[in-house]
Amino acid sequence: MTFSCEICGTEIEGRAEYIAVDRSKLRVCKACVRYGTVVVVEAAQPKAKVETILSVGGEQAQLAKLAKSKKRLYEQMDYEIEEGMEIVENYGRLIKEAREKAGLKQAELAQKINEKHSLLRKIEHEEILPTDDVQRKIERILKISL
Ligand SMILES: [Zn+2]
């Protein structure tokens, strides 16, 4: 039987981890353990343990509480993701305009920042977000702030 992570939905390979978030308990993958406090469960019968907890206070109330905890978690995750990739909304257009102003072709700029032409094209089309590293290089070469 396979479980999926109750935070990110990934199928958990091997042993599932259990964490406590606000008083709810979530079964999560190893990557999501950091979002809560790890709860130690006997490896032999994790399912029985979870059911015991769910039966306390009625399933409905427990589920509502769980939904609330998860919502808060997602908000926290969004926040963390945004922090890592701070970039203006119209970055693609800004890069394209600055590049053209500098008289550079896509391939030429790609070469200057040491990245693939296809990567730069996707960034200009805003199909992907540049990594912090690529973003910094583009900003430096084109003298713009994204
Ligand atoms: Zn996960």
Nearest to 6 by CA among 28, 36, 34: 28
81 CA to centre of ligand 1 in angstroms: 15
Examine the domain organization and report whether 66 and 128 are in the same domain.
no
Are 5 and 28 a contacting pair, CB within 8 Å? yes
98 CA to centre of ligand 1 in angstroms: 39
Choose one of 46, 68, 84: the last residue of a domain.
84
Examine the domain organization and report whether 35 and 72 are in the same domain.
yes
Phi, psi of 82 (to 5 degrees): -60, -40
Are 6 and 63 a contacting pair, CB within 8 Å? no
How many independent structural domains does the chain possess? 2
4 CA to centre of ligand 1 in angstroms: 8
Of the pLDDT bands very low, low, confident and very high (cuts 50, 70, 90), residue 47 is: low
Examine the domain organization and report whether 80 and 128 are in the same domain.
no
Examine the domain organization and report whether 79 and 95 are in the same domain.
no
pLDDT at 79: 61
**Res 91 pLDDT > 70:** yes
Domain of residue 26 covers: 3-84
137 CA to centre of ligand 1 in angstroms: 32
